[in-house]
Structure 1
Amino acid sequence: MRIRRYKPPISTTAKPFRAVRRLQCNPTYTPLNIGPVMNIAVLAALSATASMSGLTIGVCMRLVGL
């Protein structure tokens, strides 16, 4: 698949049928909003790390006899 070059947004003075045809041929790029998804992923990783470290420390203390 060939990567197409970025096309500027369609001007407001373009005729409607040309605008629709151009939108179908070359859709404009829209930035993805991944902020909330990344926040959830980071929180999940932090909580998993904290719980695993707590379990590891608890097992070590149990083995030592404290």
Structure 2
Amino acid sequence: MTESTRGTPVAGGLDADQPSQLQHVTVERDDVAVCTMFPREIGEDAVSEQWITATADSFVPLVQQR
């Protein structure tokens, strides 16, 4: 584990004035970035049950999906 960052992911179609309900942590291991997303308003004990993790090959360009 080399680096960890926290931030708010930007989701297409959401109003810029409306805050995201998710937060994320990105960790890079062996040159692979792993992003884990979970609800912003959640207790520490529940976060282990309500998360999703993705790596770079999980994402596609938005234009490709339209």
The structure with the largest alpha-carbon Rg is: 1
TM-score, structure 2 length as denominator?
0.23
Higher helix share: 1
Higher strand share: 2
**Structure having greater relative contact order (Cα 8 Å, sep ≥ 6):** 1
TM-score, structure 1 length as denominator?
0.23
